[in-house]
Amino acid sequence: MAHLTRYYMYKKLHILFGESIKGEILGVSGIDNFRQLIDMNYAELKEINYPEVDMHYLPYEDNTFDYVISDQVIEHLYDPQKAVDESYRVLKKNGIAIHTTCFINYIHPCPRDYWRFSNDGLRYLCRNFSDILCCEGWGNRIAIMLCLISDRFRFMRIPETMWSIRHLIANYNEAIYPIVTWIVAKK
């Protein structure tokens, strides 16, 4: 069960992919919320963590992976364009990159915190891909206010009960107030 600021994003990504992700998958830094999408009977998952493995210089051959997933990583990279280009390089033809990041968020060094990305910024970073399958954001003024009051609200779990106030807030999206943004791009 995802927390407030990521619930909607993971739900939308799960809807986009419908069935399971299969093939060679590179997961960068904490992709636990993608695990239920990955069919481990037909997937080989290689997990790495930034900064131990530098996303600017991925240690893999060209055209190695069917998917590259970086979840809340690119805001911590000094050169996000280089990292996105590296994800492109290691993808096979028609491979899919999934990059999630934040927009309205407090500074959280890991080890550094350099950037915030709008949908337009993510599209620009992925301009060399052949197709943008999805580029969205989630947030609303209520969630922003709650997150400013306390991190407890940011990390509160969202129940699947449709009429829960937490569920309603987590599914309410005002596109001009994104807390998180994400892009799915095809090589």
In this predicted structure, what is the pLDDT of residue 1?
A: 60
Tens digit of each residue's pLDDT (9 = 90 or more) over 73-108: 999 999 999 999 999 999 999 999 999 999 999 999
> Which amino acid is it at 119?
N
In this predicted structure, what is the pLDDT of residue 123?
A: 98
Dihedral angle computed from the Cα positions of residues 152, 175, 120 and 63, in that order, rounded to the nearest 10 degrees: 70
| DSSP strand pairing (21-28 vs 180-186) | unpaired
pTM: 0.96
CA angle 184, 10, 158 (to 5 degrees): 165
Mean pLDDT within 125-147: 97
Residue that the structure tokens 């998917």 belong to: 67
Tens digit of each residue's pLDDT (9 = 90 or more) over 6-23: 999 999 999 999 878 999
Tens digit of each residue's pLDDT (9 = 90 or more) over 153-185: 989 999 988 889 999 999 999 999 999 999 999
Tens digit of each residue's pLDDT (9 = 90 or more) over 23-72: 999 999 988 889 888 998 999 999 999 999 999 999 999 999 999 999 99
3-state secondary structure of 131: strand
Q: Using the CB atoms, write b or e for 91-117: b if 16+ within 10 Å.
A: beeebbbbbbbbbbbeeeeeeeeebeb
Beta bridge partners of 23: 43
